[in-house]
Structure 1
């Protein structure tokens, strides 16, 4: 029996609403599984916190979070606070300081969710996005503000070790899950320094791999078109921070929308806590209405449980989500229904309970 500590950061908008449903699932799992000992601590770090304290989280927040095994995050964003403040004072410090260099996003067809791109064939691939450097680097600046010669520089930072780690993580996943092909997103015909560097080291890591993996490098402009034209052709996609961010949201859209898609910000070595979050934002237009889809948040919890060694519970949650969607009785508005956030959470929770009882022969 392992005691696990999870930090909960609901954040803003619908983040608070969908987090309630994820915690409902977690509590239910613990009630029916005495071996699952998880202690949760909720932190109110959000735009409201910023407006009260002038910062998104306390000065010692990273020291606090470092003592946890994992972080479950909701969403961030509020019209009262600039987006660059909410991102660079909350999400980015956690990702970068905790060396969460893998952003893992599954792109998977779900039963009961029609995709115009499926053409009768399931879509099932994953994206490994480099998450700690690349285009999202705080390097650069602006000079001559409000003058005709005003200029700005935003630097992309790519390191050999950073590329090595994300590509190796993609290769390790491919080997473990029986995949045979890695697709690399590039633009080395135009971005001749950083992306040629990316290509060189991606090829080198694949060549050194102990398993036979096919590597295809595709220019990002063509790759987004191929995602639409032939999404079933992909298995494992590896990309830089910006390219991976764009491809991930496109991938979510082609299988049903952002309300269904989870993500994991991983420190594979587990030297620091990893963070799990839905890919959607705080959706201020629907916040407080109780109609947000909680599936992405619940699935993110499933990824967290898999990360801490409970792949059985990860599979259980995903199976429950698929069963509820296949039955099609309970659907939130984003997927063609009228169910509330709580009703969707309840339906998944009840399915998990039912599966748990069936597994015990009750």
Structure 2
């Protein structure tokens, strides 16, 4: 291992995961990326080797490297297994979920989109305390759920969003909430958001949207948005909507950032229906790898990768079927490698 090498955990995942991970690693190798991979299992592959969708060896690897790139994971149905992705976020306190969306293939209904959604990753209704109340003979007659939001968690994610805006030359942060109805759990978020915004006055503009109005405006005039920061559940929903503006989840990367670790991923699922057919689009995971390069300070390589992706899609016109092309995974990979060398 050379002084310039950066250890990182690599999780191929399930379904199309191993195929797109192999593609991304090949492109990164051609780019000269500095990562020294420690391959580990999770999801169904983790069940197969260790009887756990999140084996201890995988957790130990991420704890050691503080950095991971993972393919899509499947949480087994039944058996009491919790979401592997949620467990990873909790295990490493990955409080910020960063999901950028940028138009890569022009000419669609929405063009020139460039929006970053920053989602609180550890609180809200994703850590809900839930229970049922029986009525008569129905044990599940009433469902009760209580979400959890902390002042510290709200301030931390909003500060992250404003810091992100400053670092990346962004002009505006939009606080998305439902404080008109959920006055406590999202009112606290809005209160802290306004307080943080004052600290960045003159550097970053701020505005506010109620979440349902934001959802409507994203499909009416998405160009008004720059950086959006919101709570966990709203961020999950809006990030998928934003992905739809640029072609779907196949173009959507994600970064999960904490104080001691960062995990980068494709937002889409494991797509078992096309696994093994060699037609999967690796671009979401490749874009996530670009975020990973920037995270470790290799903005030069991240920029080269972005340029190569744009040229492959729009100059060489090499695209997979989901983007209206005819290339398979290997053909797209080869075209990308030719561009990054």
Specify the TM-score bucket, using the shorter chain as the normaliser.
over 0.9
Unpaired runs of at least 5, structure 2: none
Q: Is the 8 A contact 2:132 2:139 kept in 1?
A: no
CA contact (8 A) 1:7 1:41 kept: yes
Structure 2 CA distance for aligned equivalents of residues 211 and 169 of structure 1: 17
Which segment is superposed worse, 199-208 or 56-65? 56-65
How far apart, in 1, do the equivalents of 2:132 and 2:70 lie? 32
Listed one character per residue, the Cα deviations across residues 108-127 of structure 1 (whole Å, up to 9, x for unaligned) are 111x3432133xxx111211
The aligned runs of 1:3-42 (5 Å cut-off) are 3-30=5-32, 37-42=34-39
Give the 3-state SS of the residue equivalent to 1:105 in structure 2: strand
Question: Which of 305, 317, 329 matches 1:341?
Answer: 329
- Per-residue CA distance 1:89-146 (angstroms, 9 max, x = gap): 5222221221211111111111x3432133xxx1112111111112211533345499
Instruction: State the Cα distance separating 1:53 from its structure 2 match.
Output: 4.2
Q: How does 1:112-191 map to 2 (within 5 A)?
A: 112-118=105-111, 122-142=112-132, 144=134, 147-148=137-138, 150=140, 151-191=142-182
Task: From the superposition, tell whether residues 193 and 313 of structure 1 become closer, same or farther in structure 2 (CA, over 3 Å).
Answer: same
Partner of 1:323: 311
Secondary structure (helix, strand or coil) at the match of 1:67 reads helix
Structure 2 counterpart of 1:57, from 54, 57, 68:
54
CA distance in 2, matches of 1:197, 1:281: 32
d(CA) in 1 for partners of 2:79, 2:119 = 20
> Which runs of 5 or more structure 1 residues have no equivalent in the other structure?
31-35, 354-362
Tell me if structure 2 keeps the 8 A contact 1:114–1:256: no
Match of 2:301 among 313, 328, 331: 313
In the alignment, the residues of structure 1 paired with residue 282 and residue 339 of structure 2 have an alpha-carbon distance, to the nearest angstrom, of: 15
Conservation of the 8 A alpha-carbon contact between 2:47 and 2:53: yes
Structure 1 residues 44 and 146: CA distance shift in structure 2, 3 A = farther
**TM-score normalized by structure 2?**
0.92
Would you say how many aligned residue pairs link Structure 1 and Structure 2?
Answer: 338
Matched, 1:82 2:77: yes
SS of the residue aligned with 1:93?
Answer: helix
After superposing the two structures, state which structure 1 stretch, 130-139 or 240-249, moved more: 130-139
Q: How far apart, in 2, do the equivalents of 1:55 and 1:139 lie?
A: 24
The equivalent position to 1:251 in structure 2, one of 242, 246, 254, is 242
